[in-house]
Amino acid sequence: MIFYFSGTGNSLYAARLLANELNDTVISIPECINSNKFKFELKDSEKVGIVTPVYFYGLPSIVEDFLDKADFTKSSLIYLVVTFGSFTANTGPNAQKYLSEKGLSLDYIFSIHMPENYVPLFKVPSKETCQSLIANAKNSVVDIAKILNENPPGDYDTHKGRFPSAVSSLCRMIYKKGMTTKKFWVDDSCTGCRLCERICPSNVILFHDGKPCWSKETCPRCLACLHRCPSSAIQFGHFTKKKDRYVNPNVEFDL
């Protein structure tokens, strides 16, 4: 089983490719959470994969929530594949520590460089760069499947960057304190199509007077609403209005 979380499609793309390589199935983490499904029938020695983006040099809060409740007792191996835009810092080792505190082991750690989607701070790379990253990602998935089948467990993430431990500690604090939805707003180009309401993995967006409202104080900040709005009407703070939006061009979303 391969559990995935994805805001803009990179991790979904990687999860689907990996499932194809390993003859496995993908399962959406938000769907598990929303249907209260945390117990899974695993075959003996079945591998369990977690595929997720890196958020603030660690796991998205929604993935942590899922791992807190998930029951993988019969699984022989758990592996983590993170997709990221710049580098990963201590995402893998921190996830390993986090899982071991819950009595789970994290045996393999992998990372895949993908297009950056954190537009409140950065720009989406050019179309050419995105295409080249996505093409390389395909090769990385083949390598990961090979390692999972042939190599011993280990940390295979080679994209940690400098001072990974310090970077992750600092940025995790910022993430946990700053998950507020207060900075989201919608401009006049909103057509009221309600796509943002349907796709929000944490059911944060509700409609009021024909416009979306962020009904909870915090959210995982996946930016699915912002990037997938057909009118680019959703903004975060002051710096996203002129920025391009990004969705992995090779992915068709189920929702």
Ligand X SMILES: Cc1cc2nc3c(=O)[nH]c(=O)nc-3n(C[C@H](O)[C@H](O)[C@H](O)COP(=O)(O)O)c2cc1C
Interatomic CA distance for residues 252 and 43, integer angstroms: 29
Residue 194 in the binding site for ligand SF4 (CB under 6 A): yes
**Cα torsion angle, 80, 81, 85, 90, sign:** positive
Q: Which stretch binds ligand SF4 (CB under 6 A): 47-55, 159-167, 227-235, 239-247?
A: 227-235
Distances (CA, A) of 81 to 75, 201, 231, 246: 17, 20, 32, 21
Q: d(Cα 213, Cα 175) in Å, to the nearest integer?
A: 22
- Judged by CB under 6 A, the residue of 196, 235, 246, 248 near ligand SF4 is 196
Query: Do residues 180 and 218 touch, judged by C-beta distance below 8 A?
Result: yes
From candidates 221, 228, 233, 240, binder to ligand X by CB under 6 A: 221
**94 contributes a contact to ligand X by CB under 6 A:** no
Q: Pick the closer one to ligand SF4 by CB: 62 or 109.
A: 62
Which residue, 2 or 200, has its beta carbon nearer to ligand SF4?
A: 200
**Considering the complex, what minimum distance in angstroms separates the CB of residue 253 from ligand X?**
11
Pattern 39-78, ligand SF4, x by CB under 6 A: ----------------------------------------
Which of 145, 225 has the CB closer to ligand SF4? 225
How many angstroms from the chain centroid is the CA of residue 125? Answer: 18
Helices (H), 56-213: 61-69, 91-101, 127-150, 164-177, 195-199
87 near 39, Cβ under 8 Å? no
- Residue 114 found at the interface with ligand X (CB under 6 A): yes
Helix (H) or strand (E) holding 240: none
157 binds ligand X per the rule CB under 6 A? no
Task: Output 131 or 231, the one with its CB closest to ligand SF4.
Answer: 231
| 186 touching ligand SF4, by CB under 6 A | yes
Residue 108, helix vs strand vs coil: strand
Q: Using CB under 6 A, list all residues that contact ligand X.
A: 6-12, 53-57, 83-87, 114-118, 221-223, 248
